[in-house]
Chain A
Amino acid sequence: MVENRPLTAILTHFMLMLGVIAIALPIWITFVAATHDAARMTQVPLPLWPGTHLWANLKQTLFGSGLSGTEGAPVWLMLFNSLAMAMMISLGKIGISLLSAFAIVYFRFPFRMTCFWMIFITLMLPVEVRILPTFEVVANLGMLNSYWGLSIPLIASATATFMFRQVFLTVPDEMLESARIDGAGPMRFFFDILLPLSRTNIAALFVILFIFGWNQYLWPLLITTDTSMTTIVMSIKQMLEAAEQSPQWNIIMTTALLAMVPPIFVVISMQKLFVQGLTETDK
């Protein structure tokens, strides 16, 4: 910074704090709502400072009857479903992308370019635009209301394959040459050399994919009709609808809090990997 006047420094920090407050406000209000009882949450104006009912709300949300008036799954089960879906999507994507990137970079085989383009094309087809026919495919395969149905259609990903292709291309050729002189076969080279070299890339990608998987909404909404397969993110919408009859905002916001804590925790605790993952997969 060139200007060293204290006034400009104060103004800079002031503007930044203002930005932080504006950005954090919705999350703060959610948190505050999760710390009051149902009665307080019907009085205008709503509180802006935390109350004392956080534990009671958490207990009721996680293990109690939840929101009265809905017949949803218990919230702990929803959390588990979300976790399972997020893990299957992120690990599945990383797994198949690593393998296909390895094949495309390190082998010369007929139809290599065809494979490459078929993978590339998925980059252009977000799930939202082919939602109906994909739903039909999953229904025909009998994968409705299953973890497989929740995760596999979201697994194929060109971005992850591209990223690993980039990483592998930066590995010096001499690595492969010396590995071959040492007598290592392709899979041995893959596990002993390539995987360890791409460790941080894998971790960075995992952070991004975990959030992507956890936050899926439209797809689970379509293919789960069984309440025991509901994910936590989906349940919010059902609760909002129920809220029109019985506004238990403390429970709804506690659920919302539970739904966003895991991905926020992942982002904050692995901030460096998260930033690396974002810039690598998108650029």
Chain B
Amino acid sequence: MLKRVHFPSSPLPYLLVAPQLAITLVFFIWPASQAMYQSFLIEDAFGLGSEFVWFENFEALWADQHYLDAFLRTAVFSLLVAALSMGVALLLAGFAQRVVRGAMFYRTLLIWPYAVAPVLAGALWVFMFNPTLGIFPYFLDFFGIDWNHYLNGNQAMALVILAAAWKQVAYNFLFYLAAMQSIPNSVIEAAAIDGAGPGRRFFSIILPLISPTTFFLLVINMVYAFFETFGIIHAVTQGGPGSSTTILVYKVFNDGFVGLDLGGSAAQSVILMVLVIAMTVVQFRYVERKVEY
């Protein structure tokens, strides 16, 4: 926590932490407490005054079928994004780890999507799946699939999941590859001598040994899908058609900036904050458990 040796006391440390503290206070803690406060208020119809209503905003959310739907939708969305991107990354890392020379070459080719902004990722996928022009609808047509994510809610959901998962594969791949490379070679060789083929080794040795990484990535991917996919949704579907791709973050933005329901939006923010804090705590509590070889 602190060095055994340290500098004598002086006003200097306060100067050093001042910039960060000032920014934290002004742009983090103050707005967060504002959000908290606003979540207890209801503005009157003319925006002139507001009334302190305790938990009424939260109760309203609880009773709001749209919000509950969005909640469920977000859960499904983030689980599918995590499962898809982690599954693909695990598979690729499993193969890359077997390549003696060239693992780094594949790594170079696989990590670019991490650098692409979510909204750009959305733009690329929306272009590829453009109902009239896109490459994929053109080919899907041969299979009798009529692709139009502007009309079909399930297709819209599938598209944002694809785009979100695509962007995250790179990240998961890096962590899976590093985890697999830290398994001592002799453990794999011992399993081979014991008679386990590549597939069996993967499932009975490698997979259990990298389970801490899997858990860590699950949390990270859930957080990613919850909060960082705003740009993808905004570019691809704007929450539509209807509200079939409106996830929680998008709803906060929509209700606050478009619907101007400050209290309701603030209450949603508070709920999201509680969710992030919960996920962070889970991550800190359980992720540090490492495998000892």
A8-B166 in contact (CB<8A): no
Please state if B3 and A99 are interface contacts (CB–CB under 8 Å). no
Chain A residues lying within 8 Å of B188, measured Cβ to Cβ, are 2
Chain A 187-214 interface 0/1 with B at a Cβ cutoff of 8 Å (1 = within): 1000000000000000000000001001
Binds B, one of A60-68, A71-79, A255-263: A255-263
Q: Given A8-B198, A109-B13, A115-B21, answer yes or no on A233-B273 (Cβ-Cβ < 8 Å).
A: no
CB of A126 closer than 8 Å to a CB of B: yes
Task: Tell me the chain A residues, 195-253 only, with Cβ under 8 Å from chain B.
Answer: 211, 214-218, 222, 233-234, 236-237, 240, 247, 249, 252-253
**For the complex, is B178 an interface residue (Cβ under 8 Å from A)?**
yes
A46→B133 CA distance, assembly (Å): 7
Report if B132 contacts A (CB, 8 A). yes
Q: How far is the CB of A210 from chain B (nearest CB, A)?
A: 10
In the complex, which residues of chain A have a beta carbon less than 8 angstroms from the beta carbon of B269?
Answer: 129-132
Does the CB pair B252–A236 fall under 8 Å?
A: no
Judge whether B174 and A278 touch: CB under 8 Å: yes
Q: Which partner residue on chain B sits nearest A43 by CB separation?
A: B133
| Assembled-state Cα–Cα distance A8/B151 (Å) | 45
Q: Known A48-B135, A152-B23, A153-B27; judge A173-B115 contact (CB<8 A).
A: no
CB of A130 within 8 A of CB of B273, answer yes
B28, B112, B134, B192: the one contacting A125 at CB < 8 Å is B28
Please state if B265 and A103 are interface contacts (CB–CB under 8 Å).
no
Q: Are A123 and B23 in contact (CB under 8 A)?
A: no
The A/B interface has a contact count, at CB < 8 Å, of 298
Separation in Å of the A31 CB from the closest CB of chain B? 10
Contact between A129 and B276 (Cβ–Cβ < 8 Å)? yes
Q: Which residues of B contact A26 (CB under 8 A)?
A: 113, 121, 124-125, 128, 166
Q: Find out whether the CB atom of B189 lies under 8 angstroms from the CB atom of A122.
A: no
Contact A99 B17 (CB under 8 A): yes
Residue from A33, A41, A177, A187 having most chain B Cβ neighbours under 10 A: A33
Cβ of A182 under 8 Å from chain B: no
- Are the CB atoms of A156 and B27 closer together than 8 Å? yes
In the bound complex, CA of A267 to CA of B167 (Å): 14
List the B residue with the shortest CB-CB distance to A267: B115
B277 touches A260 (CB 8 A): no
CB of A97 to closest CB in B, whole Å: 7
Tell me if A211 and B114 are in contact (CB < 8 A): yes
Q: Let me know if B110 and A133 touch, CB within 8 A.
A: no
B73 at the interface (CB under 8 A from A): no
Give the bracket for the number of chain A residues in contact with chain B.
Answer: 35 or more
Give A92 to B14 CA distance when docked, in angstroms: 18
Residue from A105, A133, A236 within 8 A of B31 (CB atoms): A133
> Closest CB-CB distance, B57 to chain A, in whole Å?
14
Tell me whether B7 and A271 are in contact (CB under 8 A).
Answer: no
For B256, the chain A residues whose CB sits under 8 A away are 131-132
A29 CB-CB contact with B under 8 Å: yes
Check if B65 is an interface residue, CB within 8 A of chain A: no
Contact across chains for B178 and A211 when beta carbons are under 8 A apart? no
Contact B121 A237 (CB under 8 A): no
Interface residues of A in 104-138 (CB under 8 A from B): 104-109, 112, 115, 118-119, 121-126, 128-134, 136-138
User: Which residues of B approach A to under 8 Å, CB–CB?
Assistant: 2-7, 9-10, 12-14, 16-17, 19-21, 23-32, 34-35, 38, 88, 91-92, 95-96, 98-100, 102, 106-121, 123-128, 132-135, 138, 166, 169-171, 174-175, 178, 188-189, 192, 197-198, 216, 220, 223, 227-228, 230-231, 234-235, 249, 252-253, 256-257, 262, 265-266, 269, 272-273, 276-277, 280, 287
Interface residues of chain A, those whose CB is within 8 Å of chain B, are 1-3, 8, 12-13, 15-16, 19-20, 23-27, 29-30, 33, 41-42, 44-46, 48, 95-97, 99-100, 102-109, 112, 115, 118-119, 121-126, 128-134, 136-138, 152-153, 155-156, 161, 168-169, 173, 176-177, 180, 186-187, 211, 214-218, 222, 233-234, 236-237, 240, 247, 249, 252-253, 256, 259-260, 263-264, 266-268, 271, 274-275, 278-279, 282-283
Question: Which 7 A/B pairs are nearest by Cβ-Cβ distance?
Answer: A215-B117, A133-B31, A133-B34, A103-B16, A263-B115, A107-B13, A103-B13
